Amino acid sequence: MQLSPELLTQIQAAIADGTLVVGNPGGRSPIRPRQLHDLTLLPTKDDPRPTWFPSAEKPRNIDVSKTYEFPKLMWKGDTGQEITVASAEEQATKMRFGYVLTCPLAVELDPMEELQKQFSMLSDEDQLAIRKATYENRIETMVDQLAKLDQSQLDAIFKITQQARKKVS
């Protein structure tokens, strides 16, 4: 449909002076605040607005507070493949084959757990080497920090450590 330039200017003028309202905001079915919060309201003679129903078939008074465990989603533990199970027996069977109830791709691992897992996979010699390197790194860091202190601060730290050793022994 082609609109002529004259018709377009007439429409723009009508919109500008208010004689033509685009979208008809004062339309025949205003939304009332209660209709935004209660979707189960039925139309009345004074309120003919259409309402929302979960189904077109009766009864329309369903209990939305009931929840059902099945069907539910499960995921393959290593690949993340998603499946749907319909019963507890099927869920138990799938769990034996490596399916889990939380998506493995969406679960973030705790950094400490991840480090512990990686550390436990190392050989005993490698674990010992890492412990020695960590210990030496801590000593170097402490020496660097102590080097920045003046003599009175060093005396206070040594005094506190001597008192702590006396309490332990």
Q: What percent of the chain has pLDDT over 90?
A: 22
Q: What is the pLDDT of residues 26-76, one digit of tens each?
A: 555 556 666 666 666 666 666 665 555 566 566 656 666 777 888 889 988
The mean pLDDT of the chain is: 80
Domain extents for the chain? 68-107, 123-168
User: Residue 63, by phi and psi: left (phi above 0), alpha (psi -120 to 50) or beta?
Assistant: beta
Q: What is the pLDDT of residues 149-159, one digit of tens each?
A: 899 998 888 88
- 84 φ, ψ to 5°? -115, 130
Strand spans (E) along the chain: 72-76, 82-85, 99-100
Find where tokens 């309490």 sit. Answer: 167
pTM for this predicted structure = 0.34
